[in-house]
Structure 1
């Protein structure tokens, strides 16, 4: 096994990789199974911003002692979409990071040098096989085939030592991480047994082709729904159900406030980490460089949501105002 200083390896095609016992200790060879409720939650929770807002409104304040370097560094991050506006770039970057944090629990970026242009670009990578040992970041890369179709060369296993100064890691807030862990365990169980009602159908026979079943499917459905709402109580997710015949309007809008607050906690945590990462990168170009990215008044604040929740409890605000605040604020 070779030990080399290198950039992260992110070109996995698992059918072309030869995994040993040691490799399997560090590398997951299977992706997470797509689950019904869990997948819906991940999509909803990572959709932090309202895309129907007026694009003339500025979403983020950028405070820096070198505005030119600050804007340049922000645009060095590769996002899922290409934008000319710095605002759009930051928004897309936050949601990219949020998706990775919610789905994988971590988000990694690496600063790649472009020596021919004396430039850099910052791209995400999955972090497969990455681990920390005595403050060193190492990535185990298994034996693998060349990705060149005309070349059948086999590359030997490598242990790559990554440059810590070029590695950017985003983590999820501890509070959010805890409630997601507890919620996702229950969602996984519900998804696993979602279609178990088929087991309770009576088997048709020649003598009785249309057997009656005493199993009450409505009770089964109501029980699953009750468990689902209990599991999502701390995140506030509405499970994409807004049936006013089953829940009071207060219940629906109180949960909406809670869900949006958790999104804002995640958003602000990502912004804080992004500001720190950009400051560290900028200090390589100019001394004492700093950058701080914060939401403008066109984005909701946690303090405002807390105040709104208090007013709702005191019956000082109607449900339309709550809906407009959470969905039309931008």
Structure 2
């Protein structure tokens, strides 16, 4: 196994881990195998309303001394759509970053810059963030044994490698430590609840046989199970304000729905502001390696802040605002 320094991160397809590779690598969270994790990741990543289109309020002011370079940078970071409209690109960046933060605890993109006499060329490399660890000032990626075989091409096998990445060219957005601890516990509970949501009834009831055609033992009380399950789900999700897409039932009310919407929007707003803060710190530092005078600052415009959402919750408890005002405000954010 070789160790390399100052290398960019590398993306590699899923591989079957061998031996001690399990010590260094962990599987990323697969939301598709867990209904509650999948739903939460989908809902949580909508940090900016869909109204942030070019024909609507953009929700952001981007202050820069080089508009074209800023557009190229954000388009490179928008890894899926490559949008050249800055507000759209930023909305996509925030969405993907939020998803990766809750799947792997960090989002890592390598920006490769090339400056020639004609124009800037910027491309991005997106490795699997779950394969990258942060140790103090170092960012380390462990690459397992892998090959480049595809579509019948003769495969070339690459040996295991530890890369100590060049942070100067890597954008690394990380969850705050408090959210990291919360994320691990929260997603584990959602996974457990997903496993319990649809119990295997074949294991709960005794089998029917000729000797016992109508078994009556160990009958599960589904109403009691459902009640206890709902309590466990509520206790898990209440800190985020996410309602697990369950807005109906005798225990639900307009007041409860309004309070939880405010809390979930506050959770999203806190995460959005943290991502933007780290983008403002890191993007200029990376681009200045080739363009020393580059400046860029992303500022929110018209989006509710955590303090404003907290104040709305206080007003709701005091009866100073209506449910309709809360719902309208949180849908448009």
Question: What's 1:310 paired with?
Answer: 314
Contact 1:111/1:123 (8 A) holds in 2: yes
C-alpha distance in structure 2 between counterparts of 1:134 and 1:274, whole Å: 19
Contact 1:74/1:278 (8 A) holds in 2: no
Select which of 22, 25, 29 maps to 2:23.
Answer: 25
TM-score (normalised: structure 1): 0.87
C-alpha distance in structure 1 between counterparts of 2:265 and 2:136, whole Å: 38
Contact 1:179/1:234 (8 A) holds in 2: no
Q: Name the SS for the 1:79 alignment partner.
A: coil
Deviation at 1:175, TM superposition (A): 4.0
Select which of 317, 320, 325 maps to 2:324.
Answer: 320
Instruction: Work out the number of aligned pairs and report it.
Output: 325
Contact 1:59/1:87 (8 A) holds in 2: yes
Structure 1 residues 1-330: aligned runs within 5 Å: 1-5=1-5, 6-15=7-16, 19-28=17-26, 32=30, 34-52=33-51, 55-114=55-114, 119-127=121-129, 129-132=131-134, 135-148=137-150, 149-196=152-199, 198=201, 199-212=203-216, 214-287=219-292, 289-297=294-302, 299-329=303-333
What's the CA shift string for 1:261-284, capped at 9, x where partnerless?
000000111111111121212322
What's the CA shift string for 1:66-117, capped at 9, x where partnerless?
4443333222324222323110000011101011011222110101245887
Q: Compared with structure 1, are the counterparts of its residues 315 and 92 closer, same or farther at alpha carbon in structure 2 (3 Å cutoff)?
A: same
Deviation at 1:26, TM superposition (A): 1.1
C-alpha distance in structure 1 between counterparts of 2:27 and 2:313, whole Å: 44
Q: Please say which of residues 87-96 and 43-52 is displaced more in the overlay.
A: 43-52
Deviation at 1:228, TM superposition (A): 0.2
Deviation at 1:30, TM superposition (A): 7.0
C-alpha distance in structure 2 between counterparts of 1:177 and 1:13, whole Å: 24
Give unpaired runs (5+ residues) of structure 2: none
C-alpha distance in structure 2 between counterparts of 1:310 and 1:136, whole Å: 43
Q: Name the SS for the 2:268 alignment partner.
A: helix
Q: Compared with structure 1, are the counterparts of its residues 268 and 288 closer, same or farther at alpha carbon in structure 2 (3 Å cutoff)?
A: same
Contact 1:10/1:127 (8 A) holds in 2: no
C-alpha distance in structure 1 between counterparts of 2:178 and 2:159, whole Å: 41
C-alpha distance in structure 2 between counterparts of 1:209 and 1:112, whole Å: 70
Q: Name the SS for the 2:192 alignment partner.
A: helix
C-alpha distance in structure 1 between counterparts of 2:136 and 2:240, whole Å: 35
Contact 1:64/1:291 (8 A) holds in 2: yes
Give unpaired runs (5+ residues) of structure 1: none
Coordinate RMSD, CA, aligned? 2.6
TM-score (normalised: structure 2): 0.87
C-alpha distance in structure 2 between counterparts of 1:241 and 1:234, whole Å: 16
